[in-house]
Amino acid sequence: MWKDLGICLYKTYSSFKRYAKTYHNYMLVYYISVERGAKRVTTEQYLAIRKFMLADARFFSILTDSEKMAISLMKDDYDLEQYDNSYLRSAYQKYLDVFFYHQKIHGCFDKEKLGLLLEKIRKDNGVTKDRIAKEFGISTRTIQRIENGDVLPSIDYLYLFCYEFDKSIDELIKYALID
């Protein structure tokens, strides 16, 4: 799911350690750079980043303080023999639960749901497809395909749309994630 972002997560303990040591901070920096516009990504990449960040936040929210401490020590390469490894084993199980066994956490992106939302926002504001096409420099057919859920809008389209209608991309994405 996140391979195109340079992230390879597996159901192994070594993958869990790599995630805890590297990917957590790497994706946080990556996400911030995308949100600030410093890094351009496709819509699919943006959705993958958001899904990862949601799963990552979920993972860290269910850890106990002792599990967080064990992960912190592991990240700093302390000798964990002196620390109770049961906390790491427990954190590893939660990692598996969040990233692999709970589809609800990963979610799926519903193109139709996003399309319907974009269409509703556009119509509620009394804006025609022709006007959007003209302002955004795309065809009305493309807008029709987006609103029908046939294709995902480009990230540029989402930025322009959100600017035009005073919405946030996060707001649209969260709505379109399947619970």
Domain boundaries, the chain: 3-104, 111-176
pLDDT for the residue numbered 119: 95
Token digits of residue 47:
């959705």
pLDDT at 18 over 60: yes
Residue 125 — very low, low, confident or very high, per pLDDT cuts 50/70/90? very high
* Domain 111-176 top-level CATH class: mainly alpha
**Contacting residues for 107 by C-beta, under 8 A, at least 6 apart:** 51, 54, 177, 178, 179
Q: Which residue has the higher pLDDT, 40 or 141?
A: 141
Whether residue 82 is predicted with pLDDT greater than 50 in this model: the reply is yes
Please give the DSSP secondary-structure letter assigned to residue 126.
T
| Cα–Cα distance, 169 to 153 (Å, whole number) | 12
Percent of the chain, pLDDT > 70? 87
The answer to whether residue 24 scores a pLDDT higher than 60 is yes
pLDDT at 38 over 80: no
pTM of this structure: 0.55
pLDDT band at 105 (very low <50, low <70, confident <90, very high): very low
Q: Which residue has the higher pLDDT, 176 or 75?
A: 176
